[in-house]
Chains A and B, each alone.
Chain A
Amino acid sequence: MTEMTETNEVHGTELTDVPRRWDIPADAFLQSVFEAPECSPWLRKTLSGPISWQVRNEATVRRALTSHRTALPWVAALLALGATVTLEGVEMPAPLADLIQRSVTGRIVTLHVPTAGVRYGAAQVGRTPADDPIVAAYAGVTLNDKPPKTVQSARVALIGVWPRPVGLAQAATKLIGRPLDEECIQTVAQAVAQEVTPVGDFRGSEAYRREMAAVLTRRALEQCLYQE
């Protein structure tokens, strides 16, 4: 059921200067996020496809972050970007990943999305183009400004390869401090395949999902590699 006890008014979103991030009130509806000028095309894409206009009108950011299946690709993309959340009564934002893993709990007040400096890539497999992905990988990588441009941070969030709906692969941290190149990416992709713990179902067996974790992680990271 939609949380219509909250105001139906579309809340404004604001872009703060430091740090470069987009702060989104948790009671904003996904449609307002989708339409916001701050929403990059690739993040907007995670709110379309299997996610309809109706769903975006019904679900708030808070609902999407706590009931992950509402907008799973979007949540995965946020994890890859290193998004954080401010919880009610807590001053310091917490990593969204901690909230997803339930290592922190609380009522979300604001979602903070990094808006610059992150290289982003996404790859997925589904039965059809707008089907819920069977497996999907979302990568977010930041590089040091000065040469050699080694990886400063790296996150790979995957859908469809864990007992839970979405999760970050630890193997992505292997990239940190190393140059982002194809060899490195291949190593990480294979490590991700070893790390994941998929549960097979009628859309994809465990073996298939594991192999796709490697393929799609590689593709997502390759997009980061070739992104300017």
Chain B
Amino acid sequence: MNHRSENETITLTINGTEKTLTVRRAATLLDALRDAGYTSVKYGCGTGDCGICTVLLDGEPIRSCMLPAIQAAGHTVTTQEGLSAPGSGQLHPIQRAFIESGGFQCGYCTPAHILVTKALLDRNPNPTEEEIREAMSGVLCRCTGYVKIVQAVKRAAAYLRGEPAEPFRPVMARLSPDESPAPIVEHYYNQIKEQEIAHPPLVISPPDMEPLAIVGQPKLKVDAVKLATGRPAFTDDIKLEGMLYGALLTSPHAHANIKRIDASKARALPGVHAVLTYEDIPRVKYASGGQSYPQPLPYDQVSLDNKVRHEGDRVAVVAAETPEIAQRALRLIEVEYEVLPHVLDPEAAMQDGAPVIHDEPDTEGIYDPQHNIVHHIEAEGGDREAEWARADYVFEGEYRTAQQQHAHMEPHVCITYWDEDDRLVVRTSTQVPFHVRRIIAPLIGLPVKRIRVIKPRIGGGFGNKQEVLLEDLCAHLTIATGRPVRMMYDRRQEFTSSRSRHPQIMRYKVGVTKDMEVVATELYLIGDTGAYGTHGLTVQMVGGQKGLTLYNAPYSKFVCDVVYTNKPTPGAFRGYGSMQCHFGIETLMSEIADQMGWDVVEFKRKNWIRQGEELLMAKALGEGREGFKQIIRSNGLAQCVDTGLAAMDWYRKRGNETWRKGAGKSKRRGIGMAVMLHGSGIAGLDMASATLKMNDDGSFNLLIGATDLGTGSDTILAQMAAEVLGVPLEDIIVYSSDTDFTPFDKGAYASSTTYISGGAVRKAALQIADQIKAHAATMLGLETTEGMTLRDRQVVSADGTTLTFEQIALSSLHQYDQHQIIATASHLSYECPPPFGAQFVEATVDVETGQVTVERILMVLDCGRIVNPLTASGQVEGALQQVLGFAHCEEMVYDEQGHMLNPRLGPYHIYKANEMPKLEVMFVQTEEPSGPFGAKSISELPMDGIAPALADAIHDATGVWVRQVPFTPERVWRALKDAGF
């Protein structure tokens, strides 16, 4: 085929300049704009479901993935690049408003949101919140819960009207000993009533917590400008000379042997440079989960196999000159499958005679391959007979959770190339660059020293990028062709070929006394790990540990089977087993209170784990390896619950028939609550390091292996360094992460970055502080550094003499005792302090249809000291949107053949801006002695409580317990019918 005939020339006006573009006839406007270098326009789904690719066409927002490029000829297109020119130093007022409001986290969807804001404000300078949410509903966001996006639009509107807007400030309050939080809550609501633009979180401090200069302040994200202006910061925003496009052929079957594969026609297609099948690369066993060395067995994967175990499994890869040619080549690969019986249900998979999914002889470490049981876990603590003998009542309940997909807006994407030293560079959207380097080395036959992994900005991950999914294949293609290769999942592949949340079946048994004491808890857990083991062991272990620790019964027992099925493989996902098990235990606890006629709050309060207690299951159940003894040293749970009760006006509403029926004829209102704990890193395993070095002007480079996947970790780590060094935040220049230039960090997972990476940064900063003081003493002719302090970019000696950091830097680099002021520190903790929280939900149940409408969510958290209330509250709000989907609507569904029925963002459905309930966030600060500046983790805790709180609210509304999530209309309707509604 003549490639020239596929192209067409179009003229259009882009950002005010007339442009002539040569575009492929099949190209969308999205393709054409990105090819022309307008990389702020992002790919999200290619099917019009997400709106991430929105641009303004003649001033109106449209989805550029749905418009053929040739139809844009003659029109005017506005992209994010048109709002502020790179290097101009000028921000558009809308961009400024998004930055100041914390209106984004990963920033991948931000260009689209900003363009929609522009279009909205051009026609309506003072929109209502409802109008803003309606306008924004066409662009999905998975990070923010839309709260701060709405605030950003309000702020932008004010700026464009020429009005000032107050900066974001949390409402700070101090709780006196023995004081009820009710007056604080009342004062808070009175205060925010007057604030039209920001609805800031309430931050309650203990009486003796000293405020700090930088830590604790709502600083703007250090990467905010490049994200708000749509600069080329993400993996796919570069284009290398000679770059080829990789594409992946996936299995159409749930379970099959590849009898024959013939790639000759594909290889013969002009423009194709490589086609690789299992016949072309060595068979090296590995596990794709990005975990510390040694990863838990089994290593049950190979890069390309002669067997497929789920729809979407890898079959072959192609590298070609254009994405279209690569797709054409995939269609030319002839594959003859021997379709095998498959099994989708984990309980069926464990039965005699079930299809054996891993029958290959070279996988070690599967507990019982014939029954598809990859791991069997048993752990217990306490005196079984004695504690069960104390129980006056025994309650049991079975709970089920669904397979949820991460739906981060940036798909998995990777670019590999040889550098000038013949080292392989892997530029990839990953949470675990160091694990990627170590894991792919044997797969591609290169030593670690010949691989460099670069992590640019990440457009969300939530655990799904704690995996090696494309990097090995992309590298194989670069090795085969000698050319740079780019690979990216399309949105369908994100569903069927990446990872998801483990569906679980939980059977809890709880023994209680007449005095409301929980004395024994047992959990039998079936974890469905899909086709491969990857995170199967550790997710279930965390689930067991957290699910049995919240109430820390004197006797606890955990039994678990982790089971293979022929479903796309679950992996790490924010919440990591804990949220599933919280759904089970918290719902059963509420059920017990209901059956016994006990106040649910007081029943939980009597039993939840307290400060000074040992986490009984922590040692018995580590995370992939032996655990360590853990003692609770900070716990604000009681204050969280009391604050939430006051904020929700709980006791006026709970069980109040008048309030319950106030929503309408067939509607019932309900209010529910749940308490929760999580962890902060993996005790005795997670290690992070940080390097700080001083520059001539007294600024500092902070080099960290920690990966900011939109969470704001670069910002809070810089705040910690700035706090120690007494400099403003802008003096800390953060670079993360690159295996050649930053020190090791295990990566962003397990709620570890604030606590573990923060510990490393703080240590490095303290060492730098010592070096600065020592050099200052030399310069000043002092024999001691005693009494010296660092503040305002200078050293102040005991007698008040000062030296600026610039003077010290110039001296140390160029004049006296010349050396680089530099320090690297590592941090590992044998403690894993849990953050605590309470979640409250108000919902309405339509008893005729089963539709549940969530009206209001409040989360009150004890995460130790809050390093940055702006980013912290944003983290919580975003998590609440994700967990709301888990509880309410998100579910990967399959037909009998194992084909996913809803592998698109539309039918799968994640919450949009115009349907979110009211979200509120409050922090109850504590001082965690083992945490940097008293901090504990934040990011995963908010995932744990919404599902049980919503179950509790549905029960409060209807008297019916629904024990399976998500609470879809038919599921709830059937439960109501069964109960006689």
Binding site for B on A (CB under 8 A): 1-2, 4-5, 8, 31, 48-49, 52-55, 57-58, 125-132, 134, 201-205, 208, 212, 215-216
- Residue of B whose beta carbon sits closest to that of A208: B970
**Would you call A130 and B67 a contact (CB within 8 A)?**
no
**Would you call B909 and A54 a contact (CB within 8 A)?**
no
Sort A-B residue pairs by CB-CB distance and give the 7 closest, nearest first: A52-B138, A4-B71, A130-B915, A127-B889, A129-B915, A202-B893, A125-B849
Q: Is B75 an interface residue (CB 8 A)?
A: yes
**Would you call B57 and A55 a contact (CB within 8 A)?**
no
**Would you call B888 and A128 a contact (CB within 8 A)?**
yes
- Point out the residues of chain B lying under 8 angstroms from A134, CB to CB: 969-970
Q: Which of B471-497 contact A (CB under 8 A)?
A: none
A134 to B119, CA, bound (A): 31
A48 to B973, CA, bound (A): 26
User: Which listed residue, A54, A125, A127, touches B846 by the CB 8 Å rule?
Assistant: A125
Q: Which of B815-865 contact A (CB under 8 A)?
A: 846, 848-851, 853
- Point out the residues of chain B lying under 8 angstroms from A129, CB to CB: 853, 914-915
**Would you call B60 and A57 a contact (CB within 8 A)?**
yes
Asked, given contacts A1-B66, A57-B57, A58-B62, whether A127 binds B138 with beta carbons under 8 Å apart, the answer is: no
> Least Cβ distance of A115 to chain B in Å?
23
- Point out the residues of chain B lying under 8 angstroms from A205, CB to CB: 970
Q: Is B693 an interface residue (CB 8 A)?
A: no
> Least Cβ distance of B135 to chain A in Å?
6
User: Which listed residue, A1, A31, A125, A215, touches B60 by the CB 8 Å rule?
Assistant: A31
A131 to B889, CA, bound (A): 10
**Would you call B62 and A54 a contact (CB within 8 A)?**
yes
**Would you call B969 and A55 a contact (CB within 8 A)?**
no
- Residue of B whose beta carbon sits closest to that of A5: B71
A4 to B74, CA, bound (A): 11
A201 to B61, CA, bound (A): 33
A57 to B891, CA, bound (A): 30
- Point out the residues of chain B lying under 8 angstroms from A202, CB to CB: 891, 893, 901-902
**Would you call A212 and B849 a contact (CB within 8 A)?**
yes
**Would you call A48 and B914 a contact (CB within 8 A)?**
yes
Q: Would you mind naming 28 contact pairs between A and B with Cβ atoms under 8 Å apart?
A: A1-B66, A2-B62, A4-B67, A4-B68, A4-B71, A4-B75, A8-B75, A49-B915, A52-B51, A53-B61, A53-B134, A53-B135, A53-B138, A54-B54, A57-B60, A57-B61, A58-B66, A127-B888, A127-B969, A128-B888, A130-B912, A131-B889, A131-B915, A134-B969, A202-B893, A208-B969, A215-B848, A216-B849
A134 to B846, CA, bound (A): 14
**Would you call B67 and A53 a contact (CB within 8 A)?**
no
A144 to B268, CA, bound (A): 74
A132 to B908, CA, bound (A): 11
- Point out the residues of chain A lying under 8 angstroms from B848, CB to CB: 215
Interface core residue of B66, B135, B970 (most chain A CB under 10 Å)? B970
- Point out the residues of chain B lying under 8 angstroms from A1, CB to CB: 66-68, 71
**Would you call A130 and B137 a contact (CB within 8 A)?**
yes
> Least Cβ distance of A149 to chain B in Å?
24
- Point out the residues of chain A lying under 8 angstroms from B912, CB to CB: 130
> Least Cβ distance of B27 to chain A in Å?
12
- Point out the residues of chain A lying under 8 angstroms from B61, CB to CB: 53-54, 57
- Point out the residues of chain B lying under 8 angstroms from A125, CB to CB: 846, 849-851, 969
Query: Contact flags (1/0) for B40-52 with A, using CB distance below 8 Å?
Result: 0000000010010
> Least Cβ distance of A125 to chain B in Å?
4
Q: Which of B957-981 contact A (CB under 8 A)?
A: 966, 968-970, 973
> Least Cβ distance of A18 to chain B in Å?
33
**Would you call B51 and A54 a contact (CB within 8 A)?**
yes
**Would you call B915 and A128 a contact (CB within 8 A)?**
yes
A55 to B67, CA, bound (A): 11
Q: Is B196 an interface residue (CB 8 A)?
A: no
A212 to B846, CA, bound (A): 12
> Least Cβ distance of A55 to chain B in Å?
7
**Would you call A128 and B71 a contact (CB within 8 A)?**
no
**Would you call B968 and A48 a contact (CB within 8 A)?**
no
Q: Which of B64-118 contact A (CB under 8 A)?
A: 66-68, 71-72, 75, 116
> Least Cβ distance of A11 to chain B in Å?
14
Q: Is B37 an interface residue (CB 8 A)?
A: no
Asked, given contacts A53-B134, A54-B61, A57-B62, whether A2 binds B71 with beta carbons under 8 Å apart, the answer is: yes
A98 to B901, CA, bound (A): 32
A126 to B909, CA, bound (A): 11
- Point out the residues of chain B lying under 8 angstroms from A2, CB to CB: 62, 66-67, 71
- Point out the residues of chain B lying under 8 angstroms from A212, CB to CB: 849
- Point out the residues of chain A lying under 8 angstroms from B906, CB to CB: 132
- Point out the residues of chain A lying under 8 angstroms from B51, CB to CB: 52, 54
Interface core residue of B851, B891, B907 (most chain A CB under 10 Å)? B851
- Further pairs besides A57-B57, A127-B968: 4, Cβ < 8 Å: A4-B71, A57-B61, A127-B969, A131-B909
- Residue of A whose beta carbon sits closest to that of B900: A202
A8 to B497, CA, bound (A): 39
**Would you call A130 and B970 a contact (CB within 8 A)?**
no
A5 to B71, CA, bound (A): 6
A2 to B631, CA, bound (A): 61
> Least Cβ distance of B388 to chain A in Å?
41
- Point out the residues of chain A lying under 8 angstroms from B68, CB to CB: 1, 4
> Least Cβ distance of B813 to chain A in Å?
54
Q: Which of B886-911 contact A (CB under 8 A)?
A: 888-889, 891, 893, 901-902, 906-907, 909, 911
Asked, given contacts A1-B67, A4-B67, A4-B72, whether A203 binds B849 with beta carbons under 8 Å apart, the answer is: no
> Least Cβ distance of A87 to chain B in Å?
25
Asked, given contacts A127-B909, A128-B889, A129-B915, whether A54 binds B138 with beta carbons under 8 Å apart, the answer is: yes
**Would you call A8 and B66 a contact (CB within 8 A)?**
no
> Least Cβ distance of B422 to chain A in Å?
44
- Point out the residues of chain A lying under 8 angstroms from B54, CB to CB: 54
Asked, given contacts A2-B67, A202-B902, whether A128 binds B973 with beta carbons under 8 Å apart, the answer is: no
A53 to B48, CA, bound (A): 12
A134 to B134, CA, bound (A): 21
A57 to B973, CA, bound (A): 37
- Point out the residues of chain A lying under 8 angstroms from B71, CB to CB: 1-2, 4-5
**Would you call A128 and B849 a contact (CB within 8 A)?**
no
Interface core residue of B71, B72, B75, B853 (most chain A CB under 10 Å)? B71
